[in-house]
Amino acid sequence: MKNIIFSIVFFGLIIISCKKTVPEVIEEETEVITSLPYSKLDLESLNAFRTDGPNWKIVGKSLSDFTKKHDLQVEEGTGVLVNTNEEENLNLFSVFEHGDMELDIEFMIPKGSNSGIYFQSRYEIQLLDSWQVEDLSSQDCGSIYQRWDESRPEGEKGYEGHPPFENVTKAPGLWQHYFIKFRAPRFDANGTKIENARFEKVVHNGVTIHENVEVTGPTRSSAAKDNSEVTKAPLMIQGDHGPVAFRNIKYKLYGSETLTTSNVKYNYYEVETPIKQMPNFDSIQVIESGTIDVMDVDKLSKRRNGVAFQFTSDLNVPKAGDYLFHQYSDDGSKLYIDGELIVDNGGSHRFESKRGLVNLSEGAHKLQIDYFNNNSGKGMQLQYEGPEQELQTLQGKSPYPTNNKKEPLLVNAEESPEMIRSFIYYGTEKRTHVISVGNPKGVHYSYDLKSGALLKAWKGGFADVTEMWEGRGIEQVLEPQNMSMILPENMIVAELSTKKEPYPSAIDAKLKPKGYNLNEEDCPIFKFKFDESLVLDSYSPSADGAHLVRTLEVKGKNSFYSRVGIGNYIQKVNKNYYSIDGDYYLKNEGTNQPFIREIDGRQELMYILEEGTKTKYSILW
């Protein structure tokens, strides 16, 4: 019996009031910044790198036919770094040297190719065409590569390699993403190593594949032939194993200096409840005062409900520049520096943060935090990020353990397709009329029932319903278990007067959802009425589980256009496949042929849908 799961969704309305502060402070209500910006490598030329290798070039675009080994086609321009795999293949080194750092980078690996990113020119995160590999090793994409010792017996020379937690590698020739947080080794005053290097976090295509993995020394093929380790060295990209392309290379370099507080003092107050806003401290009596090291509101409170504090301290700023403060509290709090309001997190609420950006000069400053709690849980924590200073806690204490992870609630399609109605996040937007469909072949998707748009597609495990079913299920959000491909929204069909008319962004009032039926494989066939025509839409995995196959059919007199792809560029990579911005491939499977058009500087892949003709194509990633 087909298993269909429904959830009941409750809606709430949150009214947010905004308040202006001093001009140099950016508050959360009006700002979009959530962290300090990355530095970005200039890919207008090779000036950001040290290289004598003719294999490295700056180009405008790269494209690869995933059916051909080592195929990498390039177009003139700037913005993309490529290793063209010429006869003389040399590694590439950054001009900057780094200790602790974060790296955010996109890369393209052609079929059968191989490269690597070496932190401090010594510790490698592997790049490899590992698409559809099931038995992962320390040589696959995303692995922390093995160390090597020629003195060891045969079969044991390689050691300490770490495969990725799971394989989220995309098809060759598509753009992929790494976020890597690296911690350099530590040395004492005599130069003796006291801590190993560590990959604190490696995220591949949105999925965490490593956390807090130590490397005891340089991995194989590093630039340190003597296996030496240092505090700083360049980033190295391997160039002697095959063609590869990179773009959007961003980074943050961290040092050892931090903000510090001293002479920390507090006044403790007790206030009548209920209290919804910060009290007027001049009108209430101080119960207790003192000097402390940590602003721990829970430990310092003398009763459970109705408490307030004023904290003051000296603040030492080691380096001038922009500082982003995250003021967390349950209930309200306000952060002041040198008498100026930086973050207003007032009001009665759960433990949550607001942010403020301020430019501080080097030297001494004054810090003040006002806080109150109405009832129940209490907590206050101040975190910050600054120039060459990673996000960290400056003062206070979270009321929750740092490893407070929920046990996931998972749904998998074991024997037949599963369908779940829920909310999903499409970017930052919460979509409400969505169905997610899981298939035993391991290819799944989320579909907007109002517009007929495919929103997400993914492989592997089906649905994480923790935010739907855990506790009160307040969020009612379904998340894919694995890396998901987010597709641009394309309404199922549109009436256009000519091939040049723009595709509508709003849902046509004539388009009426009519539910769905199940086919012989228990996959849904979605139905839409448009005037007197019926449009049928279905998705199912290909026989090998590599593609998601779509079939569109029109019954009625109308003819329609259907946009199936949009991007900055859409190109045919071979006879059958189109590359959509290098994000995914689309393969035409039927007799109805698509065409490419250009609208407002972007390209669109379009079909004309006629009565009695089935349109069929598949998506590969």
Model pLDDT for residues 592-614, shown as the tens digit of each residue: 999 999 999 999 999 999 998 89
How confident is the model over 300-321, as a mean pLDDT?
Answer: 98
Is residue 8 scored above 50 in pLDDT? no
* Residue whose tokens read 């340089």: 218
How confident is the model over 385-402, as a mean pLDDT?
Answer: 93
Using DSSP's 3-state secondary structure scheme, residue 557 falls into coil
- Give me Rg for the CA atoms of the chain: 28
* Residue whose tokens read 């770490």: 162
Say what the pLDDT of residue 2 is: 43
Say what the pLDDT of residue 11 is: 34
Per residue in 12-54, pLDDT tens?
333 333 333 333 444 444 455 899 999 999 999 999 999 878 9
Q: How far apart are CA 594 and CA 610, in angstroms?
A: 13
Say what the pLDDT of residue 20 is: 36
Say what the pLDDT of residue 403 is: 66
Is residue 382 scored above 70 in pLDDT? yes
DSSP 44-70: SSSTTEE---TTEEEEEEEE--TTSBT
* pLDDT tier, 376 (very low <50, low <70, confident <90, very high otherwise): confident
Say what the pLDDT of residue 473 is: 72
Say which DSSP state 315 is in.
E
pTM (2 d.p.) = 0.90
Q: How far apart are CA 25 and CA 92, in angstroms?
A: 40
* Residue whose tokens read 């996040």: 425
CATH architecture of 39-254: Sandwich (2.60)
| Sheet hosting strand 379-386, strand order edge to edge | 26-27, 352-360, 321-330, 379-386, 389-397
Same-fold call for 39-254 versus 257-397: yes
How confident is the model over 223-230, as a mean pLDDT?
Answer: 94
Say what the pLDDT of residue 404 is: 66
Q: Which is nearest to 484 in space by CA: 432, 444, 440, 438?
A: 444
Pair 529, 512: CB distance under 8 Å = yes
Say what the pLDDT of residue 18 is: 36
Per residue in 484-542, pLDDT tens?
999 999 999 999 999 999 999 999 999 999 999 999 999 999 999 999 999 999 999 99
* Span of 116-125, 210-219, 470-479, 515-524 with lowest mean pLDDT: 470-479
Per residue in 432-454, pLDDT tens?
999 999 999 999 999 999 999 99
* Span of 76-90, 101-115, 223-237 with lowest mean pLDDT: 76-90
How confident is the model over 169-187, as a mean pLDDT?
Answer: 98
Is residue 116 scored above 70 in pLDDT? yes
Q: Which is nearest to 379 in space by CA: 314, 301, 438?
A: 301
First CA to last CA distance, the chain: 31
Planar angle of CA 358, 361, 367, nearest 5 degrees: 65
Average pLDDT, the chain: 93
Per residue in 505-517, pLDDT tens?
999 999 999 999 9
Kindly list the domain boundaries of the chain, sorted by start residue.
1-32+406-487, 39-254, 257-397, 525-621
How confident is the model over 463-481, as a mean pLDDT?
Answer: 89
Per residue in 245-263, pLDDT tens?
999 999 999 999 999 999 9
Q: How far apart are CA 211 and CA 200, in angstroms?
A: 5
Is residue 395 scored above 80 in pLDDT? yes
Q: How far apart are CA 609 and CA 372, in angstroms?
A: 62
Say what the pLDDT of residue 51 is: 83
Q: How far apart are CA 177 and CA 179, in angstroms?
A: 7
Is residue 150 scored above 60 in pLDDT? yes
How confident is the model over 393-409, as a mean pLDDT?
Answer: 85
For the domain 257-397, what is the CATH superfamily, name and number? Galactose-binding domain-like (2.60.120.260)
Is residue 86 scored above 80 in pLDDT? no
Is residue 279 scored above 80 in pLDDT? yes
Enter the tokens of residue 226: 């003597």
* pLDDT tier, 332 (very low <50, low <70, confident <90, very high otherwise): very high
